[in-house]
């Protein structure tokens, strides 16, 4: 692992297995970000949408699709290795070389770990990230189990009813996303020494524009801050 901007080892990681996996993680995060936004905006404006010119069938389809996609991609992101090569967070950690951390790289790893409850001082990046991930996964095990159950039962069968009550709360989904997004950024910036790519939020803004054009006055886009 290399110190971003200082160590040539980071450059050697470009095009590596870790790099390719992290790029795929970024693509998964893009999809999850869009799904969270669409699901949230529909939920916040459900009454106003019913009173507008928007087809209830279309809205129902969008919400069902977002729910099923959310469960599918979150499971892909947090899935534990089972002998297959995964682009999940633990799959990326498993692909890392076990080398010492130093300089800005160590500082960035410590900041990430401390934020998520890992108070150990890292000597090796791979083991440190593994411990941080396991602590986070244990803390959010109920939410991850809900997502897996939804994917395996409700979302995986076309005859099943998709219902948000089987999913974690919006607040919890944001926590899962933030952890994964910050992990992606950490690996891109301080391991690969390239990126990270930006993750745009286009679907939510597009949905808001559609709602406005179809008679929804001042659609809500986020929860009120208490």
Q: Is residue 3 part of a domain?
A: no
Q: Is residue 22 part of a domain?
A: yes
Residue 81 has pLDDT above 90, yes or no: no
Q: Which two tokens stand for residue 159?
A: 């005859």
Residue 222 has pLDDT above 70, yes or no: yes
For residues 79 and 90, the answer to whether their CB atoms sit within 8 Å is: yes
Q: What's residue 84's pLDDT?
A: 62
> pLDDT class for 9, splitting at 50, 70, 90?
very low
> pLDDT class for 2, splitting at 50, 70, 90?
very low
Q: Is residue 225 part of a domain?
A: no
For residues 105 and 3, the answer to whether their CB atoms sit within 8 Å is: yes
Q: Which two tokens stand for residue 13?
A: 């990681």
Average pLDDT over residues 132-144: 97
Q: Which CB contacts under 8 angstroms, 24+ apart, belong to 83-92?
A: 86/21, 87/21, 87/24, 87/25, 87/28, 88/25, 89/25, 89/133, 89/180, 89/183, 90/130, 90/133, 91/21, 92/18, 92/21, 92/22, 92/25, 92/183, 92/187
Average pLDDT over residues 1-11: 44
The three-state secondary structure class of 116 is coil
Q: Which two tokens stand for residue 101?
A: 């951390």
Helix H segments across the chain? Answer: 8-12, 17-44, 46-50, 56-78, 89-95, 103-115, 125-139, 141-149, 170-187, 203-213
Residue 12 has pLDDT above 70, yes or no: no
pTM for this one?
A: 0.87
For the stretch 159-181, pLDDT in tens is 555 556 678 999 999 999 999 99
> pLDDT class for 95, splitting at 50, 70, 90?
very high
Residue 7 has pLDDT above 50, yes or no: no
Element (H, E) at 140: none
Q: Is residue 57 part of a domain?
A: yes
User: Which of the residue ranges 24-28, 57-61, 84-88, 99-103 would you say has the lowest mean pLDDT?
Assistant: 84-88
Structural domain harbouring 158: 8-213
Average pLDDT over residues 172-191: 97
Domain count, the chain: 1
> pLDDT class for 75, splitting at 50, 70, 90?
very high
Q: CB neighbours of 179 closer than 8 A, spacing ≥ 6?
A: 116, 136
For residues 1 and 190, the answer to whether their CB atoms sit within 8 Å is: yes
Peptide bond into 163 cis (omega under 30): no
The three-state secondary structure class of 124 is strand
Q: How far apart are CA 19 and CA 1, in angstroms?
A: 12
Q: Is residue 221 part of a domain?
A: no
Average pLDDT over residues 27-33: 97
Q: How far apart are CA 116 and CA 221, in angstroms?
A: 28
Q: Is residue 1 part of a domain?
A: no
Strand partners, 100: 124
Average pLDDT over residues 25-49: 94
């Amino acid at each position: 692992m290399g110190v971003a901007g200082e160590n040539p080892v980071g450059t050697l990681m470009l095009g590596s297995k870790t790099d390719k996996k992290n790029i795929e993680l970024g693509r998964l995060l893009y999809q999850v970000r869009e799904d969270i936004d669409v699901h949230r905006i529909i939920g916040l404006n459900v009454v106003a949408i019913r009173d507008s010119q928007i087809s209830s069938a279309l809205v129902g389809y969008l919400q069902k699709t977002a729910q099923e996609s959310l469960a599918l991609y979150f499971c892909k992101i947090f899935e534990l290795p089972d002998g297959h090569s995964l682009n999940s967070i633990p799959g990326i950690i498993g692909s890392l070389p076990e080398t010492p951390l130093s300089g800005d790289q160590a500082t960035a790893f410590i900041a990430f770990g401390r934020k998520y409850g890992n108070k150990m001082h890292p000597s090796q990046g791979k083991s440190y990230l593994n411990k941080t991930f396991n602590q986070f996964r244990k803390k959010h095990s109920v939410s991850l189990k809900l997502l897996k159950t939804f994917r395996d039962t409700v979302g995986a069968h076309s005859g099943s009813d998709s219902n948000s009550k089987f999913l974690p709360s919006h607040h919890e989904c944001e926590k899962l996303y933030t952890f994964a997004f910050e992990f992606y950024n950490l690996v891109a910036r301080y391991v690969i020494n390239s990126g990270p790519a930006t993750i745009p939020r286009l679907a939510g803004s597009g949905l808001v524009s559609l709602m406005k054009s179809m008679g929804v006055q001042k659609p809500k886009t986020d929860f009120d801050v208490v």
